[in-house]
A and B are shown apart, each in its own frame.
Chain A
Amino acid sequence: MSLTTQFLDQLTHQQLLDRLDLALSGANLGIWDWDLRDDSVQFDRRWCEMLGLEHAKTPMQLTTWSSRVHPEDLERCYADIRAHLEGRTGRYENVHRMRNAKGEWMHILDRGRISGRDEHGKPIRFTGTHFDLTASENARKAIAQHEQELVELVTNLPSAVALMDASLSYVAASAQWCAAFDLGATPLRGQHHLELRPDTAPRWREIFRRALDGERLQADEEAFEDPRTHQTRWLRWSAIPWRRASGEVEGVLVSFDDLSDLVASRAAREWERTSRLEALAVFAGGVAHEINSPLQVIGIESELLTRELGREAPNLEELRESAKSLSQTAKRAMTVTRALRTLSRDSQTDPTEPVPVKTVFEHVQALCQSRFTSSSIDLRFVDESGDAIIDGRPSELLHMLLNLLDNAHHAAMTGERWVRVEAAVAGPKVLIRCVDGGAGVPKEHQSRLMSPFFTTKPSGLGTGLGLSIVKSLAGRTSGTLRFVEGAPHTTFELSLPRHQTSPA
């Protein structure tokens, strides 16, 4: 018999409870002292208060406890008690639910020990404590549930998202995250990111580390190199510290969206738009002329009309002259503004439509003629296509020809001063050739002609995007652009799909 047991044995119940109460004051503990001979139990004031019971009115008997234990837990309690009383355990310990005075379930950590035996060594006294776990139990449950929700949320987000703990072991990750890091369908929880992907970019490591240090980070568009494919991916990402309620950083929540496709298509659009506006700017001066001259004619003729009509006997011949002149001029001005409107249109998302070669040539001439005229370059249109119709987008067709003519203009400035635009039909294709009297393309340049940024023009006179844009625009409607090797003069040939009129 241990010293403690001997000591306890010498105390009366009340003495024992008083002393323990003193020792344990402040702790969240209630004390019970069970006389195994008659199942009377002394519960201390604290024990009663924990359950919301009034100490003075509480029956000091076993049923006060057992009647409040959750029926599902009671059997387990007795089993644990028996195990201790029969000497199979060093002490009794059990967590069970108890109903308090308000009818709510509390979680109790129950611990006890034999505190007295009779002369035969049979246990007669059993003493222990009740510790209220309810608060911490509720907190634990809330955290577990919260964490479960978080895992659920992260796993199902339509972005690449991962929740990692402070050691960068996974708590959860979305399907897109797993795909992006090529992590397969392995259950991730608890696996260390850097062990799964030791090749993770230094930039990601830095982001993880800084978020773990409590920093919130994000970027709208940042280039990352995929360590396996070495491709550049444009990511919008954010990394935030994952904090407990206490404020302590528990881990890191990282998410990103891959914008690469978006960025690429946006760049292509910007590229084309820039080139189109560039063409517009190059020909804009000429366009002003093309509009101003008709306006001048309209001004003069309307004045003549007014004067003629103001006379007593207007000369019909004069009136007819003016009317004819006005109508011709208006038509010309309209062609110019139509061509301008066509070129300004951002038609990338438009469906293709039947566009007569004649219309394309008219528009090109409306925008170009005066530029060539003022440089004393003879610009001729030779349409041998027999009213052929192209399947395309008016703005793209115009854009392509203006780019070709811009090059031809530059070439003709340093050679013979003529440029010819020809159209012909070849099976299901319409061929449009742009031929210039320039000095020709040196052999060593021919293979690079259509690469972006290749240019022989002086700086400031061209970005070198012209031909590569024409090529990509032609490709959009399954057309092609080629440099005709061996032709007597520099010749670029566009092969475009011909519109097939449905058989009658």
Chain B
Amino acid sequence: MKVLVVDDEPLLVRSLARVLVREGHVVVTAAHGALALELLGTTKVDIVLSDVRMPVMDGVEFVRRLREVMTTPPPVVLLTGYADTSDAELRAAGAIAVLGKPVEVGTLLETLHRCCEG
């Protein structure tokens, strides 16, 4: 499957991309929500894995806007390192799943698969 990884931390983006590629997936990346929206205008992906706290446009805003601009948006899994926004709020914004940082690689891959099939 094709995965869009959205995160402002280059080191983390690189690691996430590496593990997904090793699993045989195709990976595209964006540094924040606005860039991701732009990219999705031209590229079709199966699933999005996005950070919550990012400059310019954060994960919550990104999910909202995504659902506004696309008729059939890809499912978005949010990866959050914060406790200040509850998982329920993030789901309410439109995330299909919420994972807390740091997450086990196994759980991450399993969640992406499940959400993609569902």
Contacts and interface: CB of A to CB of B under 8 A. Distances in A.
B83 to A, nearest CB: 8
A293 B9 contact: yes
B105 A303 contact: yes
Secondary structure at the A interface, as helix, strand, loop or mixed, is: helix
Interface in A374-398: 374, 376, 378
Interface in A279-328: 285, 288-289, 292-301, 303-304, 307, 321-322, 325, 328
Contact of B16 (A288, A294, A300): A300
Given A296-B103, A299-B103, A321-B18, A288 B82 contact: yes
Interface stretch (B52-60, B64-72, B86-94): B52-60
B81 A293 contact: yes
B2 to A, nearest CB: 19
Interface residues of A, number: 27
B55 A297 contact: no
Nearest to A321: B18
A284 to B, nearest CB: 11
A303 B81 contact: no
Contacts of A374: 53-55, 58
Contacts of B8: 373
B27 to A, nearest CB: 13
Interface string A324-367: 01001100100000000000000000000000000000000000
A409 B82 CA distance: 20
A495 interface: no
Given A299-B103, A299-B104, A374-B54, A307 B82 contact: no
Contact of B15 (A292, A296, A370): A296
Interface string B1-38: 00000001101101110110010000000000000000
A295 B18 contact: no
Contacts of B53: 289, 370, 373-374
Contacts of A285: 82, 84
A334 to B, nearest CB: 14
Contacts of B18: 300-301, 304, 321-322
B44 interface: no
A356 B21 CA distance: 41
Contacts of B41: none
A318 to B, nearest CB: 8
B101 interface: yes
B3 to A, nearest CB: 14
Contacts of B19: 300, 303-304
Chain B CB within 10 Å — which of A292, A296, A297, A301 has the most? A296
Given A289-B81, A373-B8, A296 B55 contact: no
Contact of A325 (B11, B56, B105): B11
Contacts of A325: 11, 14-15
A32 to B, nearest CB: 104
B97 to A, nearest CB: 16
Interface in A238-281: none
A302 B64 CA distance: 34
Nearest to B13: A297
A307 B22 contact: yes
Nearest to A294: B11
Interface in A105-154: none
B50 to A, nearest CB: 14
Nearest to A303: B105
A297 B11 contact: yes
A170 B22 CA distance: 93
A227 B8 CA distance: 65
A412 to B, nearest CB: 13
A304 B22 contact: yes
Contacts of B79: 296
Most buried by B among A294, A298, A300: A300
Given A285-B82, A328-B11, A329-B11, A373 B54 contact: yes
A364 to B, nearest CB: 18
Contacts of A289: 53, 81-82, 101
Given A285-B84, A304-B18, A373-B55, A299 B105 contact: yes
A131 B58 CA distance: 107
B102 interface: yes
A163 B40 CA distance: 90
Contact of A300 (B9, B15, B55, B83): B15
A287 B79 CA distance: 16
A321 B19 CA distance: 12
Contacts of B54: 373-374
A290 B98 CA distance: 19
Contacts of A378: 55
A293 B101 contact: yes
Interface of A: 285, 288-289, 292-301, 303-304, 307, 321-322, 325, 328-329, 332, 370, 373-374, 376, 378
14 contacts: A288-B82, A289-B101, A293-B11, A296-B15, A296-B103, A297-B11, A300-B105, A301-B15, A301-B18, A304-B19, A325-B11, A329-B11, A374-B55, A374-B58
Given A292-B102, A332-B11, 16 more contacts: A288-B82, A289-B81, A289-B82, A293-B12, A295-B102, A296-B15, A296-B79, A297-B15, A298-B102, A299-B105, A300-B16, A322-B18, A325-B14, A325-B15, A328-B11, A376-B55
8 nearest A-B residue pairs (beta carbon): A292-B81, A296-B102, A374-B53, A295-B102, A303-B105, A292-B101, A300-B15, A289-B81
